[in-house]
Structure 1
Amino acid sequence: MQTVSRHTFSALALGIAGVLAFGSADASGFQIRENSVKNMGRANAGTTVAWGDASVVLNNPAAMVNLDKTTLQADVTMIDLTADFDGGGTTAVGTPLSGGDGGDPGDATPVPAMAAVFPLSGSLDNVTLGVSVSAPFGLKTEYDPTWAGRYSAIKSDVKTVDLTMSAAIAFSERFSVGLGLIFQHSSVTLSNAVDFGTALCAGSGNPLNCFNPAYPFQPQGSDALATVQGSDNDWGWVAGMQFRASDNLVLGYAHRSEVHHTLTGDATFDHSDPRVPATFGLLGVNTYDNGPIWANLDTPSTDTVSVRWDVNEDFRVLVDAQLTGWSSLSAVDIYRTGGAQLAHEPFNWEDTWFYSVGGEWDFSDAFTFRAGVGFDETPTNDAARTPRLPDNDRMVYTLGMTWNVSEALSVDAAYMRVQIDTPSIDTTSSSGARLVGDFDGYANLLGVSAQYRF
């Protein structure tokens, strides 16, 4: 029975490393690229060579030199996920899992971002400073608490917020470099049910008790809710360069570092059956005690290359290729503060590529229109996929526009459609419950932003 305790934390360890990937439906894993509505309108192509976009404070500090006025920018993107599960499963003793399909786990969620760029003057007129606040990883999903997969996942809430402070130097009209310091806050809340009924009847010394209605504990009859919460602050960095190869061709590159977190928080157990703690004590088994825990979390590095080609004065084509270092999530370990290991969960994610191409057309001095398409690889695979992380490859399709209200003020809007390849699930939870089925999901994203220059 002590093995059951360890495995319960092991299931939650999967969530420490990443939220349900459908919750972060715009990008694979639990990445969120939406820190600029302009970028979203062209499928996030050209992020490291963007003109007139303050989001480069984080995306590529070297591109801040493209802004010749003090620029303030605020973006918000609403991500609306629709996801359905079709399947079922069995308990550890082979009885059918009760419960429904979990409902729609993703509510419409706003993702804000803010940035400011300050070109210096005088003897420092080749220097530009910037600051931004964004949410590069996370989002929230929540299943019905009585769904069939409750022993694998109920709530997954991961929030990561970056404060980035950057500087850029233009060595010439064609070449610039930039460097930024990232202060990152991460918080995680994860929960799933624990099937104490199955554990108690199967461990009673007579497994047939699980099929004897007169026995006080039956499969799925004495569930508890296990919850892990933790948070941490730590530092990372971003560096980049921008090179104008010709009057109509610009190249950009940026590297964003990993950020290493040691999350600290608490594990709690809410026993719906008041008999469970006493019964566990009579059996000589350690009670599921509430108490402090800690776990490591590394948010991944990214390497991004962008190209911008000005076909003519009114039309531009942009391309992005981004490598995300998900292989840093090799395993997740959860410990009690005294040093006892509660879980070791091999994660085995792989590095992934994101590719996109987009275009911009200046219809007039007042209006610019955008469109783009992108492909995003999944870091997980059929062997490692769980209900908490049912990720798969996805395509993105976008439209966007800018309205230049005046020389100082502009307003942007963009729409993204995300189509996710159907991921299959065949996994066993901490309670020994096997869940088999498919997820079918898509997402609609709508963003608006405003920029003021002076």
Structure 2
Amino acid sequence: MSRYLPITIASLSTLLIASDALAGAFAVREQSAWFQGLSFAGNATVSKSLSSMYWNPATMTGHDGIQVETSQTVVFPRATIDLDTATIDAVPTPVTGVPYSSGDIGVDAWVPAGYGTWKVDERLTLGVSSNAPYGFETKPQIEWAGQVYARSSRVLSVNITPMAAYELTEKFSVGVGWQLQYLQVRLKSATGVPPIAANSPTAELRGEDYNLGFGATVGALFKPWEGTQLGIGYRSPIEHNLKGRLVVGGNAPTPIRANIIMPETVTVSFQQELNERWRGMGTFEWTHWSRFGTFPVFNLQDQVVSELPFQYNDGYFISLGTEYDFTENFTGRFGLAYEWSPIDEANRTPRLPDANRFWISAGLSYFYEDWLEVDIGYSHLFPESESININPDHPFYEGITIQGPVNDTNVDIVSLGARLKF
């Protein structure tokens, strides 16, 4: 069996890219069927799953031989924006002739991830992962009172990360990796303020980073005594030089460019064996979304032709979970989490009406002999009730004040994973 097989399988597993955001703003946390069932508690410590290497590359030292893993997740989001008011401020007059409801803006998404590790010797382990760390897609109905703020939105990403981990002592391991990331952005909205009406032309901004963005990931794993693990991982910021075009109505496309920086993330986890069958774990995560401000969009003459406003806050996530080995072949797990979104009423838009949310998760693993393991995980997310309130003080303001609640919001996530050992 070729030692390059893990790299090949892990790279090919990300053929489609995540299209909905489930980790605050448009980060995607759904990188593991195993940890999905734990609400991602303990995800920076060693388990039988390879996927912890995404958050902490040092955990690769806990896996022997050659192993590959794939995780395939399907996300079912739902949300409707029901505006109470929509006013054209230049006139001023209420918006008429179009619905005040967005309809369901959620778009079902498939999130693939792949991992491979090779234990070179007793201390050194090499590996590679392929993931979609950022992504979202929302689609209100084409004609609605908030159409100047969103007709459709899509962000796609692919991240390939070769890694190495080294066991310095029996109690302490370190790991490092090099991220190569592709990013694509597609944003559509209606033009014309005032007036707003059915059949308004569409403005579309497209951009992607053909040259890839580069970053690092580092981590450490500490086992102070038998049965206890402490892990910390860091994924660095990544700058993207987007190039594309801006098309307004039937006009000729305008070539554009924009530089944006994706945020860094720090993940801290613990895992504690309670007895031979029962384990407890937890995770705290911080994402530096506050670096995500307003990014100017330039034409080829270096003139600002548009802006990408965000003005996010930092994001935080905390989770607790437990695992229990029912038999040698079956392990069950359960997790709870709470997430503080970087989006609040001061920066919330119809493109991504994110909010703080509770998580509840459960999962099961089946171990078939020594060479095949299968995981399934499920989560239900309960977003808190929030509203859209875009007015002249809002960073996304485009001449129309809109106000109203985001209703019927909930998310179901189903994840299936498998590992092969050679």
Is the shorter-chain TM-score for this pair beyond 0.5, marking a shared fold? yes
Give the CA deviation at 1:431. 4.7
Which one-letter code corresponds to 2:184 in the other structure? Answer: S
Structure 1 distance, partners of 2:228, 2:199, is 65
- The correspondence of residues 137-152 of structure 1 with structure 2, limited to 5 A, is 137-152=134-149
Give the CA deviation at 1:133. 0.5
Asked whether the 8 Å contact 2:143–2:198 carries over to 1, the reply is: no
Structure 2 distance, partners of 1:25, 1:289, is 32
Query: Comparing 100-109 with 295-304, which one deviates more in the overlay?
Result: 100-109
Give the CA deviation at 1:222. 6.3
Asked whether the 8 Å contact 1:86–1:101 carries over to 2, the reply is: yes
Indicate yes or no: 2:396 matched with 1:433: no
**Which digits, 9 at most, give the CA deviation of each residue in 1:399-427, with x for residues without a partner?**
00101122110110010001101121111
Cα gap change, 1:28 to 1:161, in 2 (>3 Å): same
Cα gap change, 1:219 to 1:350, in 2 (>3 Å): closer
Determine helix, strand or coil for the equivalent of 1:223: coil
Unaligned runs of 5+ in 2: 1-18
Give the CA deviation at 1:289. 4.6
- Match for 1:260 among 239, 242, 251? 239
Indicate yes or no: 2:365 matched with 1:396: no
Determine helix, strand or coil for the equivalent of 2:290: helix
Structure 2 distance, partners of 1:251, 1:369, is 22
Give the CA deviation at 1:345. 5.5
Asked whether the 8 Å contact 1:413–1:449 carries over to 2, the reply is: yes
- Match for 1:443 among 411, 417, 421? 411
Structure 1 distance, partners of 2:80, 2:140, is 11
Aligned residue pairs total 393
Indicate yes or no: 2:329 matched with 1:352: no
Query: Could you tell me which residue of structure 2 aligns to residue 86 of structure 1?
Result: 82
Asked whether the 8 Å contact 2:190–2:201 carries over to 1, the reply is: yes
Structure 2 distance, partners of 1:343, 1:116, is 42
Structure 2 distance, partners of 1:423, 1:43, is 23
Query: Could you tell me which residue of structure 2 aligns to residue 5 of structure 1?
Result: none
Cα gap change, 1:69 to 1:221, in 2 (>3 Å): closer
- Match for 1:334 among 291, 297, 317? 297
Structure 1 distance, partners of 2:418, 2:196, is 55
Asked whether the 8 Å contact 2:29–2:133 carries over to 1, the reply is: yes
Q: TM-score, normalised by structure 2?
A: 0.90
Overall identity of the aligned pairs, in %: 30
Asked whether the 8 Å contact 2:340–2:355 carries over to 1, the reply is: yes
Asked whether the 8 Å contact 1:100–1:146 carries over to 2, the reply is: no
Determine helix, strand or coil for the equivalent of 1:103: strand
**Which digits, 9 at most, give the CA deviation of each residue in 1:350-381, with x for residues without a partner?**
21210000100000001000000001101123
- Match for 1:30 among 26, 51, 69? 26
Name the one with the larger helix percent.
1
Indicate yes or no: 2:331 matched with 1:368: yes
Indicate yes or no: 2:140 matched with 1:165: no
Query: Comparing 231-240 with 49-58, which one deviates more in the overlay?
Result: 49-58
Which one-letter code corresponds to 2:404 in the other structure? Answer: G
The higher radius of gyration belongs to: 1
Give the CA deviation at 1:96. 2.5
Structure 1 distance, partners of 2:69, 2:330, is 18
Structure 1 distance, partners of 2:309, 2:254, is 24
Which one-letter code corresponds to 2:49 in the other structure? Answer: D
Unaligned runs of 5+ in 1: 1-22, 199-217, 272-287
Calculate the aligned-residue CA RMSD, in Å: 1.6
Asked whether the 8 Å contact 1:195–1:222 carries over to 2, the reply is: no
Determine helix, strand or coil for the equivalent of 2:296: strand
Query: Comparing 301-310 with 323-332, which one deviates more in the overlay?
Result: 323-332
Query: Could you tell me which residue of structure 1 aligns to residue 50 of structure 2?
Result: 54
Indicate yes or no: 2:213 matched with 1:234: yes
Asked whether the 8 Å contact 1:26–1:418 carries over to 2, the reply is: no
Structure 2 distance, partners of 1:247, 1:83, is 46
Structure 2 distance, partners of 1:307, 1:414, is 20
Asked whether the 8 Å contact 1:424–1:437 carries over to 2, the reply is: yes
Structure 2 distance, partners of 1:449, 1:32, is 17
Asked whether the 8 Å contact 2:337–2:360 carries over to 1, the reply is: yes
Structure 1 distance, partners of 2:166, 2:267, is 20
Q: TM-score, normalised by structure 1?
A: 0.83
Structure 2 distance, partners of 1:410, 1:246, is 28
